[in-house]
C-alpha cells in the first residue's frame, strides 16, 4: 500500500477536507503492514474503494423561524459503506457541520460498527443548523423539514440514522414522527427513539456506560483498577453525562466537565445525583455553557476559555468533539503524569497528540473503540424492533457489557506490540478494517 500516493489522490479530489483526510491517514498508517500481507486486498483495490463513501445525499432544508422568517440550511447523508450491514450512524446538527466532518465521521463509523460485532455498515448525516438558542417549535419545524428530504433514502434494512451532537431524544422523536407520516410505516428506521415508541432502555446511557466498561478492561490489562481514580471529562452532553454516571458508580471521581465557554473543576467530584443531573439541566437550557455549575455548586471553580487537560488526574476522557486535544494539551497531560487517555468523542485527539501519547508510552484508546457502546446499543434497539419486543434494562446492559469486552479483546489481538505495549489505535483500526475488508472481498467487485 502506498499511503502517500493514496492520500495525495484523495487530497487532489477533495481539497481542504482536513478532518476526512486526517481520519483516513490514521487508518491507512495503522493497517498498512497487515494489508500488505494480503495481496488479494491489493488486487481488489480494497483500500481505494473503502476510503470513498458509497454515496452522498446533499439537500436544502427550508423552514420558518418563530419570527416568520424563512431560513435555509444544508442537509446531508453520507452512506459510507454497507459491506457488513445496513448503513448506520448518527445525525449531527451543529453550525460547524460540513462534508469533511461528515465524511470523517462516516468513515470512522464504518470501522466502529464493525468492532461492535453486530451487522451494521457505516453512515453519518447532519446539517449546519445550530440548535443553540432555538425554541422547541423551531427545532420541531427544522427536524420535520430535514426528514421531508431524507426519508426516501433511509429504511430499517437500508439506512438507520440516530443522534449525535445536537440531536438527542427530542430531535429523533420529531424526525421519526415525520418519517412515519410520510411512509405510513412503523419500522425501526431510527434509533434513540423514546421508550414508548420502540426505543431501547439504556440507549441514552450507552455511550458513556460502554466507555467506562472499556476503561475497566483497559485498566485490568495494565494490572490497574478504576476504584479511586480521578478523571477529567470534557463536554457536558449526553455522552459526558453517561460517563460521569458510570464512573461514579464504579468508584472513580470525575472532577471536570466543559463547554465552549470553558471548564468547571469540582475537587469534591461530580458525584451526587443533584450534580450529575444538573448536567442535563444545563444541556436543556440550550445556552451551551457550563459556567452556571460553579454558581450552583460554590466549591467548584469555572475556568473561562480553558480546557481540562491542564489538570493532574489519572485518566483523561475527552467527551466533547473532534480535535479537542491538541499536541500542547497532550504535552500537559504527559507532564502531569496522566497515564491513560480514553477518547470518547469521535477523533477527539489530533494526530500530533496521538503521536505524543504513543511516543511517551501512555495508554491511548481511540473513540472508535471506546465510544462504540452507543451505536452497539442502537444495534440492540434494531434487534428489538425487528422482533417487536422489549428487553429489560439488565438484558441490554449485560449485552452492552459483553460487547465492550469483546471490542477490547479485538484491540488486544491486533494492538499488542512486541515489548508488551498496548497500542489501541492500531488494534482498533486493524480489527475493524479486517472485518470490513473481508466482507467486501467476499461480495465481489462492484
Ligand atoms: O458516533 C456515534 O457512534 C453515534 N453518534 C451513534 C450512532 C448510532 O447510530 O447510534
Cα(24) to ligand 1 centroid in Å equals 19
CA distances from 107 to 88, 99, 177, 235, 237 (A): 11, 12, 28, 23, 23
Kindly report, residue by residue over 111-152, the tens digit of the pLDDT.
Answer: 999 999 999 999 999 999 999 999 999 999 999 999 999 999
- What pLDDT score does 124 carry? 98
Cα(36) to ligand 1 centroid in Å equals 31
Asked whether the beta carbons of 389 and 402 are under 8 A apart, the reply is no
Q: At what angle do helices 136-150 and 169-183 cross, to 10 degrees?
A: 50
Q: Answer yes or no: is the C-beta of 374 below 6 A from any ligand 1 atom.
A: yes
Kindly report, residue by residue over 198-225, the tens digit of the pLDDT.
Answer: 999 999 999 999 999 999 999 999 999 9
Per-residue pLDDT averaged across 183-188, rounded? 97
End-to-end CA distance of the chain: 21
**36 and 165 belong to one structural domain:** yes
Q: Answer yes or no: is the C-beta of 110 below 6 A from any ligand 1 atom.
A: no
- What pLDDT score does 199 carry? 98
**340 and 311 belong to one structural domain:** yes
**Would 427 be classed as within a structural domain?**
no
Pairing status of strand 253-259 against strand 340-342:
unpaired
User: How does the average pLDDT of the chain come out, rounded?
Assistant: 98
CATH number of the domain that residue 122 is part of: 3.40.50.10860
In terms of residue numbers, what domain contains 24? 3-185
Kindly report, residue by residue over 351-381, the tens digit of the pLDDT.
Answer: 999 999 999 999 999 999 999 999 999 999 9
pLDDT of residue 237 exceeding 90, the answer is yes
**177 and 219 belong to one structural domain:** no
pLDDT > 70: what percent of the chain?
100
**7 and 155 belong to one structural domain:** yes
**255 and 319 belong to one structural domain:** yes
- What pLDDT score does 81 carry? 98
The single-letter DSSP state of residue 154 is -
Per-residue pLDDT averaged across 13-42, rounded? 97
**77 and 211 belong to one structural domain:** no
Overall domain count for the chain:
2
DSSP string, 167-232: B-HHHHHHHHHHHHHHH------SSS--GGGT--TTHHHHHHHHHHHHHHHHHHHTT--STT-EEE
Residue corresponding to grid cell 462516516: 106
Per-residue pLDDT averaged across 267-279, rounded? 97
Q: Answer yes or no: is the C-beta of 164 below 6 A from any ligand 1 atom.
A: yes
**56 and 7 belong to one structural domain:** yes
The single-letter DSSP state of residue 83 is S
**Would 382 be classed as within a structural domain?**
no
- What pLDDT score does 1 carry? 87
Q: Which residues are catalytic?
A: 124
Q: Answer yes or no: is the C-beta of 345 below 6 A from any ligand 1 atom.
A: no
Q: Which of 259, 372, 383, 365 is nearest to 316 (CA)?
A: 365
**224 and 129 belong to one structural domain:** no
Per-residue pLDDT averaged across 245-266, rounded? 98
pLDDT > 90: what percent of the chain?
100
Kindly report, residue by residue over 281-319, the tens digit of the pLDDT.
Answer: 999 999 999 999 999 999 999 999 999 999 999 999 999
Cα(340) to ligand 1 centroid in Å equals 24
Domain end marker among 185, 214, 235: 185
- What pLDDT score does 172 carry? 98
CATH number of the domain that residue 301 is part of: 3.40.50.720
Amino acid at each position: 500500500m502506498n499511503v502517500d500516493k493514496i492520500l495525495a489522490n484523495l487530497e487532489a479530489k477533495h481539497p481542504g477536507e482536513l478532518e476526512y483526510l486526517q481520519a483516513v491517514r490514521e487508518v491507512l498508517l495503522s493497517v498498512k503492514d497487515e494489508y500488505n500481507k494480503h495481496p488479494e486486498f491489493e488486487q481488489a483495490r480494497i483500500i481505494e474503494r473503502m476510503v470513498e463513501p458509497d454515496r452522498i445525499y446533499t439537500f436544502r432544508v427550508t423552514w420558518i423561524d418563530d419570527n416568520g422568517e424563512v431560513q435555509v440550511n444544508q442537509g446531508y447523508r453520507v452512506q459510507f459503506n454497507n459491506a457488513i450491514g445496513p448503513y448506520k450512524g448518527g445525525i449531527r446538527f451543529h453550525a460547524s457541520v460540513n462534508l469533511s466532518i461528515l465524511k470523517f465521521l462516516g468513515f470512522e463509523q464504518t470501522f466502529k460498527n464493525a468492532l461492535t460485532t453486530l451487522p451494521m455498515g457505516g453512515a453519518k448525516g447532519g446539517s449546519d443548523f445550530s440548535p443553540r438558542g432555538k425554541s422547541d417549535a423551531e427545532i420541531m419545524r427544522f427536524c420535520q423539514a430535514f426528514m421531508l428530504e431524507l426519508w426516501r433514502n433511509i429504511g430499517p434494512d437500508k439506512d438507520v440514522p440516530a443522534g449525535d451532537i445536537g440531536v438527542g431524544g427530542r430531535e429523533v422523536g420529531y424526525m421519526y414522527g415525520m418519517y412515519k407520516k410520510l411512509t405510513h410505516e412503523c419500522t425501526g428506521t431510527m434509533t434513540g427513539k423514546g421508550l414508548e415508541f420502540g426505543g431501547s432502555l439504556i440507549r441514552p446511557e450507552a455511550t458513556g456506560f460502554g466507555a467506562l466498561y472499556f476503561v475497566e478492561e483497559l485498566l485490568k490489562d495494565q494490572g490497574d483498577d478504576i476504584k479511586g481514580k480521578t478523571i477529567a471529562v470534557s463536554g457536558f452532553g449526553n455522552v459526558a453525562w453517561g460517563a460521569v454516571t458510570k464512573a461514579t458508580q464504579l468508584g472513580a471521581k470525575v472532577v471536570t466537565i466543559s463547554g465552549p465557554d470553558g471548564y468547571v473543576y469540582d475537587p469534591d467530584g461530580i458525584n451526587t445525583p443533584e450534580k450529575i443531573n444538573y448536567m442535563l439541566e444545563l444541556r436543556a437550557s440550550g445556552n451551551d455553557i457550563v459556567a452556571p455549575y460553579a454558581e450552583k455548586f460554590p466549591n467548584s471553580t469555572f475556568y473561562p476559555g480553558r480546557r481540562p487537560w491542564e489538570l493532574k488526574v489519572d485518566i483523561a476522557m475527552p467527551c466533547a468533539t473532534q480535535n479537542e486535544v491538541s499536541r500542547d494539551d497532550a504535552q500537559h497531560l504527559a507532564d502531569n503524569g496522566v497515564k491513560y487517555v480514553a477518547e470518547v468523542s469521535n477523533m477527539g485527539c489530533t494526530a500530533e497528540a496521538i503521536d505524543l501519547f504513543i511516543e511517551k508510552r501512555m495508554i491511548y484508546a481511540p473513540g472508535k473503540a471506546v465510544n462504540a457502546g452507543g451505536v452497539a446499543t442502537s444495534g440492540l434497539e434494531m434487534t428489538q424492533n425487528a422482533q417487536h419486543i422489549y428487553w429489560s434494562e439488565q438484558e441490554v446492559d449485560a449485552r452492552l457489557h459483553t460487547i465492550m469486552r469483546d471490542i477490547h479483546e479485538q484491540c488486544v489481538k491486533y494492538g499488542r506490540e512486541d515489548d508488551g505495549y498496548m497500542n489501541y489505535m492500531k488494534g482498533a483500526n486493524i480489527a475493524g478494517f479486517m472485518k470490513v475488508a473481508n466482507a467486501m472481498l467476499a461480495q465481489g467487485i462492484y
